[in-house]
A = this chain, B = another copy of it.
Amino acid sequence: MGPTQRSDTRAEVVERLIALLEEAARQRVKLAVFPELALTTFFPRWLMSQPEVDSYFESAMPNPSVQPLFDCARKLEIGFYLGYAERTDSGQHFNSSITVDPEGKIIGRYRKVHLPGSVEPRENSDSQQLEKRYFQYGDLGFQAFRGAEHWHSPTMGMLICNDRRWPEAWRSYGLQGIEVMLIGYNSAAFDPNGGTTEDLALRTFHSLLVTQANAYMNSTWAISAAKAGVEDGFGLIAGSCIVDPNGVLVAQAGTMGDELVIADCDLDACRQGREKMFNFAAHRRPEHYRRIVDQVGVELPDWHSRR
């Protein structure tokens, strides 16, 4: 997807999503992946009052604004992944995604676990990364779900944006045997935490690198969809891609705008890795992995203080 401006209405965005679905149907696509927060601009870049923040959230899914997308998908027999800001009945806020099957039924729900950024805004910066302020940490974990029969019932997982940089998230799904990972993202074309060492090229490289490597290391397909381009003056990288279980890019976005990136995903391609190099039962050694769950942050060795 290309950018969505603050002034764009939900109706305008849903119209763009429908146009993409219709073109996808013409090309016999069975599953479409839309980005993180696909219905709005990437609003965590601004410090806002709570009522203003709330205007970016959906309190039901589908809801009247989004219903036309569900209707269109059902008519075209296409499923989709959609990222959106979720407000629950009890008033919780999550950065969420759903997977909808070709009959319009929600078959998977995910809430982003790895929220980047900070609760408090950085001083003297016109661009913030306030996901830790506006969202709660996802409380559903990494739960694989069964894809539609229309897609040959793959074992599937979802991640959102920053999650894709965390190998723990991929492995948690890999240990459930996933065959297709769906990812939506909005990634700044500059360092969202301040600093000048990261630019569009480096951040696009990082996005591809982690998607390719984690797909390979977990013997899964990965479909990763950006919202790209300039939103209200702030750049987002592109880099939407489809990666095979070898970590090889089989399709990639060529523009910063609304665009289809299409590939056939042969689920049997997962078997080479799963049965050999990454036969987890044969080769993993969890007795040596305790630090991964026993500690959160870096714990420097004792001698480090001597440095």
Contact = CB atoms under 8 A, between A and B. Distances in A.
Interface of A: 113-116, 137-138, 141-142, 144-146, 153, 155, 162, 165-172, 174-177, 191, 193, 195, 197-198, 202, 205-206, 209-210, 212-214, 216-217, 246-248, 272, 274, 276-286, 288-301, 303-304, 306-307
A289 B289 CA distance: 11
A247 to B, nearest CB: 5
Contacts of A114: 283-285
Contact of A172 (B153, B162, B277, B291): B291
5 contacts: A169-B288, A176-B301, A202-B246, A274-B298, A280-B297
Nearest to A139: B288
A89 to B, nearest CB: 23
Nearest to A115: B283
Nearest to A174: B298
Contacts of A299: 175-177
A206 B247 contact: yes
A162 B142 CA distance: 26
A79 to B, nearest CB: 17
A113 B289 CA distance: 11
A139 B176 CA distance: 27
A175 B209 contact: no
A143 to B, nearest CB: 8
Given A206-B247, A284-B297, 18 more contacts: A145-B301, A146-B304, A155-B300, A162-B283, A165-B217, A165-B278, A168-B171, A168-B284, A172-B292, A175-B299, A176-B299, A177-B304, A195-B276, A197-B272, A202-B246, A206-B216, A209-B247, A292-B292
A276 B274 CA distance: 33
Interface centre among A116, A153, A193, A291 (most CB of B within 10 A): A291
Contacts of A162: 277, 283
B177 A277 contact: no
B297 A293 contact: no
Most buried by B among A276, A278, A294: A276
A299 to B, nearest CB: 7
A276 B168 contact: no
In the A-B complex, the 8 residue pairs with the closest CB atoms: A281-B297, A213-B213, A167-B167, A193-B276, A177-B298, A168-B289, A280-B297, A141-B288
Nearest to A118: B282
A282 B176 CA distance: 27
